[in-house]
Structure 1
Amino acid sequence: MDLNRLRYIGDRPVGPDHPVFVTGEIGINHNGSLEDALAMIDAAVNAGCDAVKFQKRTPEICVPSDQQGIERDTPWGRMTYLKYRHRVEFGAEEYEAISRYCATRGIAWFASPWDVPSVDFLEMTDPPAHKIASACLTDDELLVRVRDTGRTVILSTGMSTPDQIRHAVDVLGREKLILCHTTSSYPAPAAELNLRMIHTLMHAYPDVPIGYSGHEIGLQTTVAAVALGACFVERHITLDRANWGSDQAASVEPGGLQRLVRDIRIVEAALGDGVKRVYDSEVPIRAKLRRVGLESVVG
C-alpha cells in the first residue's frame, strides 16, 4: 500500500486497506437542543459510526449583512435570520458537554468551522480533525487557518469546479488531506450524485485518500460509493427527518443509520483483496461438481 494515502483521525487510520471511516454529521440538526445532540450521538454509537460531526459558525461573520435583519418564521417564533443563527449555535458550555459525552461513549467528534474565529474556538477542544464544508472551499483565509493547525483536514468538493478544487488542495497541502466527493443539493437526486467522480479524484490526486459526503435520500448509493473505493463516508443524521431544518430531509434516521453502517461493513468485507484463490469452502463443492479434475487444465 502507498503510505502517502494513509491519514489518521485520532488514532484511527483512514485510507485504502483500512476499514471505512464512517461519520454521522449532526451538523445543526440538533436545532440548538443539547438533549437532541446527545441522542444523535447515541444513535451514531449504536450504529457503529467512528465519529460524529458538528458545524461551528460565528453568525455575524457567516450571515451576509444584507440578510441579518430579514425576519423569518421559526419553531421559536418569528425572528431575524441573525437571531435564528444564534439560536441554533452551540457555545463553549454545550461543546464541553458534547466532548465529555463522546468520551464516555467512546466515539470521536469534530466539526466544520465556517470562519476563522470558529477554528480558534474548536482548537480549544483539541479535535482530531477539521472539516471544510463545500461552501467554504474557496475561502482561502479559512483554508490557511485550518492548514496551520497541523491537524487532519477533510475537504468536501460540492458545487466546485476542478480548478477550484485544485486551488484548495494547493492551499491546504496534501500531507494531511482527505478529499471527499460531494453533490451539494439537499437532498441530492440520484442522477446528480456522479459517483464515478470518486475514481476521477483518485486519478487526479493519487497521493490523497478519497471519501464521500452524501446528501441523498436512501442508503444504497452511499454503499455504492464504498464499493467504488471511498475510504471515508459522511452522512447527515437526524432523530426524525420531519423535524424543522434545511438538512433534515437529506439526513438518515437512527434505524437507517444502523442499516447503512451494517451494509458498509458487509460490502468492504466482500470487496476482498483482488487476489484469486480457492477458498476452503469451495473444495468440497469442487470435488462434487467439477467434471474435469486435473489441476493442470486451464479454463
Structure 2
Amino acid sequence: MRNKTFIIAEAGVNHNGDFALAKQLIDVAVTAGVDAVKFQTWKTELLVTEDAEMAEYQKENTQVEESQFQMLKRLELSYDDFSELKAYCDSLNIMFMSTPDEEQSATFLDSLQDIFKIGSGELTNTPFLRHVAKFGKPVIISTGMAYLAEVEHALSVLTDAGLTLADITVLHATTDYPTAPEDVNLLAMQTIKNAFPGVSVGYSDHTLGIEVPVASVALGASVVEKHFTLDKTMLGPDHKASLDPSELTAMVKAIRNIDLALGNGWKVPTATEVKNRVIVRKSLIAGCDICAGDILTAEMVEIKRPGSGISPTRWDEIIGTPAKQDYRAGELI
C-alpha cells in the first residue's frame, strides 16, 4: 500500500486580511480532515512595486480599483498573527504551513514550519531558492507558468544549495483562477516525474470542483493542494476558484478512497475474492456416466460451476487421458 496522499488545504489570502477569519479557515480544514492548512506570508514593500497592476482575475474577483500593492497590503497579516495561527494549529493537531513570498518572510517562517512551500511565482527566483534551501528542510515547489527547462533550473539551484532530490516535491500547476479543464494538462505531472527521477510529484489545483485533484491522485500525485474558503461569494482574488467547506470535505473523502483503491499494485485475488472463486469460477464436470479407464473426450466433459474441482485451464491436459475412476453425469471430475 502506498503512503496516503498529503493534502494541503490552501487558505492563502482567503482570510481577506482578517485574523478571525484565518482561524475559522483552520477550523474548516480540521473538520475536513486535511493534513495541513497553508497560508501566504509576505511584507508588501518587499514583494511588489507600488504601481504594479493586478491580474485580470484579481480585478474581477475583488471588484476594487487598486494597485497590486494596495490589494496585498490590505490582505497582509502580521508576523505575530502567523505565530498565533501556528499555535492555534498546534492546539488542533493540524500542520501549519505558509508560503513565503520574499526572503525576510522565509527566514521568519523557518521557526514555524517543518516544510517549505515555494509558489510558482518564485520558481525562477534563484537567490530566493538558495535562501530557502539553506534551511535544510523538505521543499514543495509549484511549477505554474513554467517550461520544463525552468523546472530543471530550479531543481539544480535547490540541489546545488544542499537539498537532495528526495527532499523535493514538484507540483504541476496551472496559474489561472479558475483553470479551465482543457488547460489542466495533468499528464505533465508524469512528464515531470519521468524527467527528474528521484523527485516526488504532486498537483496544485485551481480548477472548479474536486474532479481534477482527485484524478491527479490516480495518476500518482503524492501531494495535492487546493484552495478553500468560508464562502465563495466573498470578494477577494481567490474565493471564486476555491472550495467551500462541504466541497473540501468531499474532496478529502474522495482522495482517501482513491488512496485505498490504488492498493499495492500486486495482481492477486483479495481475501474477499478468494471466497468467491469457488462460486464464480468453473470446473470440469462429467457430461455423462464415465467408467474408469474410459478415454476422456470433449463430448464427455462439460465446464460448469462450482469452481471447486479441476480448473478448465487444465482442459488440454485432461482431454485424451483415461478416467481414473467412475463418474456419474454431473459429477466433478
**TM-score bin (small chain):** 0.7 to 0.9
Partner of 1:29: 14
> Structure 1 vs Structure 2: percent identity of aligned residues?
35
Answer yes or no: is the 8 Å Cα contact 1:52–1:107 preserved in 2. yes
Q: SS at the partner of 1:154?
A: strand
Post-superposition offset of 1:135: 1.2
Partner of 1:8: none
Matched residue, 1:115: 102
CA RMSD of aligned residues (A): 2.4
Of 286-295 and 238-247, deviating more is 286-295
Distance 1:73 1:289, change over 3 A: closer
Mapping of 1:1-299 within 5 angstroms? 17-67=2-52, 81-125=68-112, 127-173=113-159, 174-292=165-283, 293=307, 294-295=310-311, 297=313
SS class of match (1:39)? helix
| 1:76 Cα deviation from its structure 2 partner | 11
Gaps of 5+ in 2: 54-58, 160-164, 284-306, 316-333
Q: Specify the SS of the correspondent of 1:160.
A: coil
Larger Rg: 2
Closer, same or farther in 2 for the Cα pair 1:251/1:295, shift >3 Å?
same
User: Relative to 1, partners in 2 of residues 1:282 and 1:189: Cα closer, same or farther, differing over 3 Å?
Assistant: same
Deviation at 1:56, TM superposition (A): 1.2
Give, in angstroms, the shift of residue 189 of structure 1: 0.5
For residues 35 and 256 of structure 1, do their structure 2 counterparts lie closer, same or farther at Cα, with a shift above 3 Å needed? same
Instruction: Tell me the distance in 2 between the aligned counterparts of 1:225 and 1:133.
Output: 19
Count of aligned pairs: 281
Contact 2:89 2:96 in 1 (8 A): yes
Structure with more of its chain in strand, by fraction: 1
Q: How far apart in 2 are the matches of 1:238 and 1:209?
A: 27
The Cα shift of 1:100 comes to 1.2
* Structure 1 CA distance for aligned equivalents of residues 274 and 5 of structure 2: 31
* TM-score normalized with structure 1 length: 0.87
Q: Which runs of 5 or more residues in structure 1 are unaligned?
A: 1-15
**Higher relative contact order (Cα pairs below 8 Å, separated by 6+ residues):** 1
The one-letter amino acid of 2:96's match is: W
Q: Secondary structure at the match of 1:95?
A: helix
1:157-189 CA distances to partner (integer Å, 9 max, x unpaired)?
110111111100100122411110111110001
